[in-house]
Amino acid sequence: MEIISLSGFLSKYELNNMISDLDIDETNLSGITTLQEYIDDEQSVNKEGVFCAYSEKEIFEYEYILIEENEFLNELLHEVKCLLSALIKNCSSCDLEKIPYTQQYDDPFNLNTVYDLLSSHSVPQIFISRIGSLKCSCGNDVYQDDPYLEEGELDDWIGEEINFIIDTFGIDLDAAVEFIEFLKMNPMMALYHPIGILISDKIQSREIIGVDIIKKNSTFYRGRKRKFHERRVPFIKEELWNPEVGLPSQGRYNPPGVSNLYLANNIEVVKQEINLGINELVDIAEFHINKDLLVFNTTVTDIDIFANMQKQDDLSFNPEYIFTNFLAQCLAYHGYHGVIYESVKINQGMNVCLFNVEPIKDLDIHYIQESVGKSESESNYDRTSVF
């Protein structure tokens, strides 16, 4: 009778890397026993010189052998299926929109498939079809060609937003997720939802982490770029404020048409945020704050969701901004003057979005640094007083 050692079987079917990667203890599975136990049960087996039929190596008494190959393999693959299924947190059938959004607006090849998951954990090709489908956390079957998200990828899409709501407003996970999904379907109806009402009330009562003050006499900067061959004359003071109501596209903190004043804490942040191109110059206004301003400072919270959101330039409406638009509108309605958030373009850089401020009375432009981006030999301008 052929005897197959466990090590010989795993080597023959290239299962060692998969077992190691998934941290499976194969000796706890059914269908195996030690050679000594097998010999004790099968009196006809010679105790001396037992060799594995696969590896042709001698099997010692303490080593494991297979007594039911299919039973062992079925249990092993079932264990693999359970462990890998536990990694799948989102699929095309889930309510969250990351996968269909990526398929429609981004590069679908950025999405991993179930086949990629199986391969990345060293599941041999001959067993991939035998495993069949895995299970998403939502309960749906996902097959080899189906895209999926793991927990970290899901956090990148919506997790930080959800965690921000939980940490800042004391809302549980399920309620936070449901509120975000409600907002995506009903972006203008947030205050008809109990979580939206709760958030608004806490902002009004200032029962949130991050309530802060921009001190009087603080300095911030704002830039506006121009193409040198199209406009050689620098922008004047009146052209360096925020646009008129009705003109702005959607931003992190403003719905389409709502005009807020976006500033940075230093000139380098302005230059990085404005993404200066070839043959483009930027005129930078220096703003002085004339009174203390009440703001929400996201940099003191554990999760700066504002900084992590990226603008989709080809979309007139960005669903990723829905919650921050709502939050900024609540802040503005309840008398706050703005939001402070980290720059995504430069370390230690800060941005501020201001609303409820009156030019000249609350803040004003003191200087304009003109034609930034040109060499000194090309520019006749420097730091120009507007008084």
Where does the pLDDT of residue 378 fall: very low under 50, low under 70, confident under 90, or very high at 90 and above? Answer: very low
Q: Are residues 30 and 124 in the same domain?
A: no
Q: Are residues 231 and 372 in the same domain?
A: yes
Where does the pLDDT of residue 303 fall: very low under 50, low under 70, confident under 90, or very high at 90 and above? Answer: low
Tokens of 203: 């902002």
Quote the CA–CA distance of 283 and 226 in Å, as a whole number: 8
At position 148, the amino acid (one-letter code) is: Y
Q: Are residues 215 and 331 in the same domain?
A: yes
Q: Which of 262, 295, 300, 293 is nearest to 164 (CA)?
A: 300
Q: Are residues 311 and 234 in the same domain?
A: yes
pLDDT digit string (tens) for 78-127? Answer: 999 999 999 998 888 775 556 665 665 455 667 889 999 999 999 999 99
Tokens of 165: 């709501």
Q: Are residues 187 and 242 in the same domain?
A: no
Q: Are residues 174 and 285 in the same domain?
A: no
Last residue of a domain, one of 63, 82, 101: 82
Q: Are residues 138 and 227 in the same domain?
A: no
Structure-token match 């050679």, residue found:
35
Specify the pTM: 0.57
| CB-count exposure of residue 328 (10 Å: 0-12, 13-18, 19+) | buried
Higher pLDDT, 323 or 248: 323
Last residue of a domain, one of 25, 60, 82: 82
Name the strands in the sheet holding 32-34, side by side, starting at the edge strand that comes first in the sequence.
4-5, 64-66, 32-34
Structural domain of residue 72, as residue ranges?
Answer: 4-82
pLDDT digit string (tens) for 65-78? Answer: 999 999 999 999 99
